[in-house]
Structure 1
Amino acid sequence: MAVYHLKTPIHEKEIRQLRVNDVIYITGLIVTARDQAHRRALEYIKSRKPLPINLEGLALYHCGPLVRREDNEWFVLAAGPTTSTRMEYFEAELIKNFKVRVVVGKGGMGEKTTEAMKKYGAVYGVFTGGAAVLAAKLVKNVRSVEWLDLGVPEALWVLDVENFGPLIVAIDSHGNNLFIEAARKVEERKTQIYKMLGLHS
C-alpha cells in the first residue's frame, strides 16, 4: 500500500502507477454526478453533444450534495458518496468518451467499468460512507453548477477540493477489483463449507 497526492488534471501515467489498496488524496476539481446526470451524459454521447464541463483528467464523484445558497454563492454542507453500482450501466462510456481518471463512490463497481478503467486508464476510489460532513469540509468552494434542472442532488456540481480523501483504490487500471475478488473468495469459501457439511449450494 502506498499513499499518493494527485492534482487535477490527472494524467494517465499517474493513474497507471496506482494499485488496489493504495490510498489517494485529490486536490483540484471533482464533479459530482448521480443517476440522472449519468443518463443525460450518455444521451450527449449518443447525440455527439459536448458536455458543459470538460471532464478530462478530473474526478467524477457519485454524490448528491446537500448545499445552501447565500447571496448567489453556494456552500456545501454535506457531500457523502452514493452507491456506485447504480452507475455501472453508464460508467464505461463516460470513462471512454470523457477521459475521466478517477471515479469516487462507495460499494464498488462491476466488470464493465473495470475493463474500461484498464483500457483507458482510470481508477475507482472508495470514500467512507457516513462521512458526508468530513467530505464537505474538504470542499474549498463551488466552482460552478450545471444541469440544475435535474434537481440539486442530481446536478453536476464542480467542486474545488483540497486533499479530498482518503480514497482507497478498489479498482485499478490493471484489471484488479477488490469487490469482485472478495465476492469470488466468498463463493469459494461457501462452496468449501457446504461440501464439509454435505450440503449442496
Structure 2
Amino acid sequence: MSSKPAAAQSGIGLSRLLTGQSQGWTPPTQGQQLALTLFKPECRSKSPARTIDWEEVDRQLQKFLHQPNPVSVREVSRQLGIEVRQLYLRDNQTTRQIGQRWLAYLRRRKVANLQEAIPHLESAGKEVLMAGKSLNLREMKARLPHEVTQSIQGFYGVLKDVRLRLVGESPEHHKISV
C-alpha cells in the first residue's frame, strides 16, 4: 500500500507517517453504518391454479361447431378464456373441425367476393383500354370503388387474369396475331 492512501485512511498526516512520529495517535473509530430504508417490492404470491371443466368446454365447442355462422378457433379461444394450444391439446378433433369450417368459410367468401367484383373489374378494364392507357394496378384502382378493391385478395393476380381476358377479346389482339 502506498503512503498517501495509508495516511488518508489512518487519520495521521503524511509527514508524520513518513517520519514515524506516531505518538498520541489513536486508530480511527469505526463509523456507524446507517440503515437505509430502501424500497423493497413485496413478493407476490402465485395465483391459485385454475381448474377447467373440460366437459363444459366440450359442450361449448360443440355449440360453436353447430352455429350457423362459422367462428375461428382464435375467437372461440378468446370467448372461452382458454388458450388455442390448450384447446387443440384437450379436444383436438372438435377444435380441428371448427378450424376447417372457418377455413372453408374464408375460401367461399373469397370466391364470392371475386365473382361479385369481376363485372366491375371488366368494365373498368374496358374503360382503361378505350382511353388508350395501359391496364395496370394504378389505373384500375382509380376507376374502381374502394369496397371492390378491398374485397379482393391477390388483386394483382386477379388483374392479370382480367388483362388476359380483355386483351384476348380485343380486335387489336386478333389483328396482331393473324
Instruction: Report TM bin, short chain.
Output: under 0.3
Instruction: Give the TM-score taking structure 1 as reference length.
Output: 0.25
Higher relative contact order (CA 8 A, sep 6+): 1
Calculate the TM-score normalised by the size of structure 2.
0.27
Flag the structure with larger Rg: 2
Compare the two structures and name the one with the higher strand fraction. 1
